Amino acid sequence: MESNKYICPDCGAEMLQEYEKPALNLSCPKCGCKIATTKWEEIDLDDTVYSICIEPFENPTMEQIKVISKSTGMNFAASKTFLKSGGILFRGSATEILEKKKTLEANSCLFHIAPTFKY
Ligand SMILES: [Zn+2]
């Protein structure tokens, strides 16, 4: 994800980057020059509200049901019913959606995100 290079204003060496969102600390390995700045990634600035919609499952696995249960706070039975019928699991910001997406993908849940989610 990190592709930008920062060049030391004093000596022109490539600076080392330490990113603790949103603080970006730059230090020069050559002359010791330090610069602190802030940097937001595109996803942080995206104020679109996204929805994760679960595709209906015939036979959800235990793990998938647990993921839904954890994500929604619904009990086991309700989560199972939800997986079988499908529907909107979650609405939220891009960063929240990204986190849920990873969990769902890790558990082979079928879902889609609207509007188009590019992260
Ligand atoms: Zn330098």
The pLDDT confidence band at residue 3, using thresholds 50, 70 and 90, is low
Biggest CA-to-CA distance, the chain: 64
pTM: 0.73
> What is the tally of structural domains in the chain?
2
**Cα 43 to averaged position of ligand 1 atoms, centre (Å):** 31
**Cα 38 to averaged position of ligand 1 atoms, centre (Å):** 19
**Which tokens is 39 given?**
């940097």
| Domain housing 92 | 44-114
**Cα 8 to averaged position of ligand 1 atoms, centre (Å):** 5
What would the pLDDT profile of 76-110 be if each residue is shown by its tens digit? Answer: 999 999 999 999 999 999 999 999 999 999 999 99
What would the pLDDT profile of 12-59 be if each residue is shown by its tens digit? Answer: 999 999 999 899 999 999 999 999 999 999 999 999 999 999 999 889
Q: Do 18 and 68 have their domain in common?
A: no
Q: Is residue 119 part of a domain?
A: no
**Cα 30 to averaged position of ligand 1 atoms, centre (Å):** 5
Q: Do 95 and 59 have their domain in common?
A: yes
Q: Is residue 12 part of a domain?
A: yes
**Which tokens is 99 given?**
């986190």
For 39-78, letters b (16+ CB in 10 Å) and e give eeeeeeebeeebbbebeebeebeeebbebbbebeeeeeee
